[in-house]
Amino acid sequence: MGRSSKDKRDIYYRLAKEEGWRARSAFKLLQLDHEFNLFPGVTRAVDLCAAPGSWSQVLSRKLRGREEEQGERVKIVAVDLQAMAPLPGVTQIQGDITKVSTAQEIIRHFEGQPADLVVCDGAPDVTGLHDVDEYIQAQLLLAVSALFFSIHPLVCGVRLTAIFRGKDVTLLYSQLKIFFTGVTCAKPRSSRNSSIEAFVVCQNYSPPEGYVPNMSNPLLDHSYDVDFNQLEGPNRVIVPFLACGDLSAFDSDRTYPLQLDAGKQYRYTPPTQPPIRPPYEQACHLRKNNLLSREDAPSSRPSQCGDEAQPQAESV
């Protein structure tokens, strides 16, 4: 398959390159903002699990363009374990979101002020086992929650986090409702229908009275009753789910022709910003240099030398 193959199969991948976004995931945040109006009034934003930086790009373009209107300097902090190419107006922290030191560094950049918006498009390496993937993603979400509560001491703000929408999503919904008055599970058009990926939008941060943020106390524990999802009537929690976008938007699961507009010639566009040091870098290097080929196993055929009669020395 040529370089244009993925451009045919993934319209948002192609549009991301043409519009200068680092990844197709930028359209997810743009479509969620169109539905929930996330950005007005935001001057301090945090992007967790930010690499390669497409969501930080969206924040930079959307928020920094309103600095004059708001009369306040916009501060954007991006956090990831991996290195990320610089972005204008974005402060980068290469650190672990589960560490207290990371939360303290974010607070230092905001000079003690609360964050207005926290977004996270992080996800673990999936195994294909939905129950396992959902649980690991839930643990990541709770780590994000603990960090959010630590850097957000005031009653305001919005949080947007990627989740895997499975049978136990009601547990996460119930836990998040303790801290937010509005919790909605949404799926933008740019998120493939074949994926269980969704996004939880938490609005109006309102923690319980006397709550003290603590990053060492996860909400998800092993005492959760799995039979909760079998309850009916008022005892069962129904998680609000919203499909973002209208029917005129591109379908992320459909294949589109390369020439979308009549009279406009298709031209391949390289990625805006290749990864700096991706985890798969070594594997790509080995494959490119043909070092991943399997070595030929030693022959299992028995040596015929032992079967042949040894020549006898001639007697003199």
* Binding residue ranges for S-adenosyl-L-methionine: 53, 55, 80, 96, 121
At residue 145, the 3 state secondary structure works out as: helix
C-alpha separations of 198 from 47, 137, 282 in Å: 17, 11, 31
- Verify cis geometry, omega within 30 degrees of 0, for the bond prior to 311: no
Task: Write out the binding residues.
Answer: 53, 55, 80, 96, 121
Closest listed residue to residue 39, CA positions, set 78, 70, 16? 70
Residue at token pair 């007005």: 40
Which amino acid, residue 131? D
Specify the residue for token string 């902090």.
77
CB 36, CB 69: distance < 8 Å: no
Count other Cβ atoms within 10 Å, centred on residue 4: 13
198: closest CA among 148, 244, 140, 259? 244
